[in-house]
Amino acid sequence: MAEPLLEVRGLVKHFPLTRGVIVQRQFGAVKAVDGIDLTLMAGQTHGLVGETGCGKSTTARLIMRLLEPTGGEIRFAGRDIAHLGGGALRALRRELAMIFQDPYSSLNPRRTVGSIVAEPLVIHGLEPDRSARRRRVQELMDTVGLNPEHYNRYPHEFSGGQRQRIGLARALAMRPKLLIADEPVSALDVSIQAQILNLLRELQRELGLALLFISHDLSVVRYMCEHVAVMNSGKIVESAAAADLYSAPQHPYTRELLAAVPRIPEDRRTISG
């Protein structure tokens, strides 16, 4: 069995609560993530589902090392990245990429789309030649379904769905091994959601990306992921292959979630003609 690309064991993140007049003393903590395990193989799609405050976004940030865990380990491609710093952390950022929920605030409004997508390349010193970089950026824009001619436009000139594509192009610039998508379609209209989801699926297949897909929407996760974990209050209550989880949920919370999803009636008439 191949080694997992991402292995999370006993991951914990506590945000301390303090009180004190001159000196701050900790008297408790918010246990945002309270000991979770996660395994992701290369090229696999894994969903993380839960309601507000369950800790799924915090988990995403911990794996991306935007936050440092209070405890537990995160092994990426065999290395423990839980407490990396400095240059090693920067190097890690070439292999892990993230796209975010809000297409309106995750792009710097003062930069052109081209410079936004090129930024990872610039930071990591790849493609120092400006024209080669430009070509790469335009290639990326084309891959995500944007018109490469719009290299010099600003984010506000694009719609929500297009901005998510820009974020995706930026994430893919480094050819990452793992893409973390934190509610990437929640802020989009239904018809645009479908376009972005299909794009993600297509790219994931073509590029062999591992995908960690975080969402509160059970139907979307069902569509996107082979494996799903359900989170509640900082813990994973159930984790299974998607087909199993959705057809035979074991944990009461999972059942409650599934029961709450409104159903669109299916056409039960027989097809005539």
Give contact residues for another protein (rule: CB under 8 A): 18-22, 45, 51-52, 145-147, 159, 161, 189-195, 197-198, 201, 216-226, 241-244, 246, 256-269, 271-273
CA 271 to chain centre: 41
Nearer CB in complex with another protein: 129/266: 266
CB of 177 to another protein, least distance (A): 19
Complex with another protein: residue 11 or 240, whichever CB lies closer: 240
Q: How far is the CB of 90 from another protein (least distance, A)?
A: 33
Shortest gap between Cβ of 7 and another protein (angstroms)? 21
Tell me the backbone φ, ψ of residue 3, rounded to 5 degrees.
-75, 140
Within a 10 A sphere around the Cβ of 208, how many other Cβ atoms?
A: 10
Q: Residue 48: phi, psi to the nearest 5?
A: -130, 115
Q: What's the rounded Cα separation, in Å, for the pair 31 and 108?
A: 32
User: Any residues with CB less than 8 A from the CB of 225 and at least 6 apart, and which?
Assistant: 45, 46, 47, 211, 213, 242
Residue 33 CB, shortest distance to another protein, in Å, is 18
Identify which of residues 74 and 229 has a Cβ nearer to another protein in the complex.
229
Minimum distance of another protein from residue 243's CB (angstroms):
5
Name the residue nearer to another protein (CB basis): 70 or 162: 162
Q: What tokens appear for 88 in the block?
A: 């090693």
* Partner residues linked to 214 by β-bridges: 48, 182
Cα torsion 141, 147, 149, 154 to 10°: value is -80
Select 64 or 192, whichever has its Cβ closest to another protein.
192
* Closer residue to another protein in complex, CB, 108/247: 247
- Of the two residues 70 and 254, which places its CB atom closer to another protein in the complex? 254
Work out how close the CB of 67 gets to another protein at its nearest, in angstroms, rounded to a whole number: 21
Tokens representing 201? 């699926």
**Residue 187, Cα to own-chain centre: how many angstroms?**
14
60-89 residues labelled b (16+ CB within 10 A) or e (exposed): bbbbbbebebbebebbbbeeebbebeeeee
Minimum CB distance to another protein, residue 98 (Å): 21
